A and B are shown apart, each in its own frame.
Chain A
Amino acid sequence: MIYPLEIKNLSFKYAQEGKNILNGLNLKISSSEITAITGPSGSGKSTLCYCIMGIIPHIYQGVLEGDVLIYGRPVSKMKVSEIAVSAGIIFQDPDTQLFSPAVEDDIAFGPENLCIDRKEIDRRIVESLEMTGMQKHRFSDPDRLSGGEKQLIAIASVLSLNPDIIIFDEAMSQLDEKSAARVRSIMGGLKKSGKAVIAVENELKNLKMADCLYVLENGVLHEEEING
């Protein structure tokens, strides 16, 4: 069986660092599932996200062993921009994810890169704004939005690419309860539409809707009971 995402024996050590931050990780992610990953600060959660997105080894270098496979293809042999067709990521800091003068331009950026025609881009803008509840901000300047609104726009920008795997890398850590609840409901919607969702968070309260929970500690990933 080919999984949307499969991690095989993944180990990683940043250049100039003594020990591995990830140690022989194995993980299979299926469609229509929310997989939660938690762990203390510095445990390597973001590093794992970077490995999935190909940011490691293409942008950040170090010693990488094992494989990350997207639909059976190793990400180490794909460009980050190629991986983006199948996997999208929302980072913790919305300020580095929005770079256009209007919200609709930011949402259109991904589909434009995929050479999608204007009519379809327009449809995707409307759809992603509806999913995130940000319709009224379509023509707003992202710099003038609140932190929570910016993060929802960053999510809409990734949704417009329509990737099969969506990673939320501590996307709720800077949000108030109302915005975090909105993000959780978006995750639920994505699961229903058949996407593989990976929610990486420090706070367990944000991971209650997950189908399976993994804890990353000392570079090792182990599965935990959701209600445990």
Chain B
Amino acid sequence: MFKKLDVRTKIIIVLCISTPAVLIQDPYILTAVFAVSILLSLFTGSNLKMVFKKLSNVWYIFLVLVLLQSIFSGSGQKLLSIGGLTILTAGGIIKGVEFVLRLMIIIISATIMTTSNHREIIQGLNQFKVPYEISFMVSVAIRFLPMLSSEIKNTLIAVQLRGIEIEKLKFFKRISLYRYIFYPVLINTVKKAQGISIAMEARAFRAYPYRTSYLILKFRAIDYFIIPVSFLLAISLILYYYFFD
């Protein structure tokens, strides 16, 4: 049922989840929103397993974020001090956890959009009256990321085929290798993006101020139910936090 949601409904769901995540600073409410975002992502068919797998590769960034928040917002009970410097406080940890929760909510809710293809996303934005030049720009940006990733993979394979074992390189040598391949990767990706933009222009893109669309999105009964419920819940949550909590 949720898997067949209109892409515009998904955009609204993402907005209704991420807006409270940004505005609310309460770890309990954020945890609840986080749980809802996971449930909705699962219902809409997102590949959460892959997202968590990828996030697990950068877990140390989250740890650094928690520590930085702890150091710089020194509120609450002191938990760890070195000399006169407070390193860890209870308030700091809570702030850090809030920050990470907020980030996770935004990332996980955004995965809901990955269950629609970019043609549907463009059309959804167009039917929301976003100018088509802007929605296509979004689409090219969406396409640019996998292009960049495949370019990096190809370049790293090319480097390995020349006999360099990247895993065995020392940290600084590895950094120097990445710096070495950065420019060719970037230039090739930009060239490909330019190729796409030329191909689009050569197929009459922007020939007229308006364009028709072969794909027309239509709301179903479930969309008419989900949209007001999402708005209602998001607004209630924000009002509850600011006026009653």
Contacts and interface: CB of A to CB of B under 8 A. Distances in A.
A96 B206 CA distance: 18
Contacts of A112: 211-214
A97 interface: yes
A93 interface: yes
Interface stretch (B18-26, B60-68, B97-105, B197-205): B197-205
B216 A101 contact: no
A61 interface: no
A157 B214 contact: no
A95 B199 CA distance: 10
Contacts, number: 100
A96 B199 CA distance: 7
B81 interface: no
Given A96-B195, A96-B196, A96-B199, A113 B206 contact: yes
A57 interface: no
A81 B201 contact: yes
B44 to A, nearest CB: 17
Nearest to B117: A101
A101 B118 contact: yes
B216 A118 contact: yes
Given A99-B143, A101-B117, A113 B214 contact: no
Interface string B54-94: 00000000000000000000000000000000000000000
B195 A113 contact: no
Contacts of A101: 117-119
A39 to B, nearest CB: 22
Contacts of B180: none
Contact of B202 (A89, A100, A105, A111): A89
B212 A80 contact: no
Contact of B208 (A102, A114, A122): A114
Interface in B176-212: 192, 195-196, 198-208, 210-212
Given A96-B192, A102-B119, A112-B213, A91 B199 contact: yes
Interface residues on B, range: 20 to 34
Contacts of B195: 91, 93, 96-97
A115 interface: yes
Contact of B214 (A81, A97, A105, A158): A105
Interface string B27-51: 0000000000000000000000000
A53 interface: yes
Contacts of A183: none
Interface in B200-245: 200-208, 210-216
A85 B215 CA distance: 22
B184 to A, nearest CB: 17
B204 A81 contact: yes
B31 to A, nearest CB: 35
B203 A110 contact: yes
A146 to B, nearest CB: 17
Contacts of B211: 112-115
Contacts of B200: 99, 109
A10 interface: no
Contacts of A102: 117, 119
Given A101-B118, A105-B214, A121-B212, A113 B199 contact: no
A214 B140 CA distance: 37
A171 to B, nearest CB: 13
B208 A80 contact: no
A84 interface: yes
Given A91-B195, A96-B195, A122-B214, 20 more contacts: A79-B206, A79-B207, A81-B201, A84-B207, A85-B207, A88-B203, A96-B192, A96-B196, A97-B199, A99-B140, A102-B117, A102-B119, A105-B119, A109-B200, A112-B213, A114-B208, A115-B211, A118-B212, A118-B213, A161-B204
Interface of B: 117-119, 139-140, 143, 192, 195-196, 198-208, 210-216
Interface of A: 53, 55, 59, 79-85, 88-89, 91, 93, 95-97, 99-102, 104-105, 108-118, 121-122, 125, 157-158, 161
Ordered nearest first, which 10 A-B pairs have the shortest CB separation? A96-B195, A101-B117, A108-B214, A81-B207, A113-B204, A84-B204, A110-B203, A80-B201, A97-B199, A121-B214
9 contacts: A59-B201, A81-B206, A83-B202, A100-B118, A101-B118, A104-B214, A112-B212, A113-B207, A114-B208
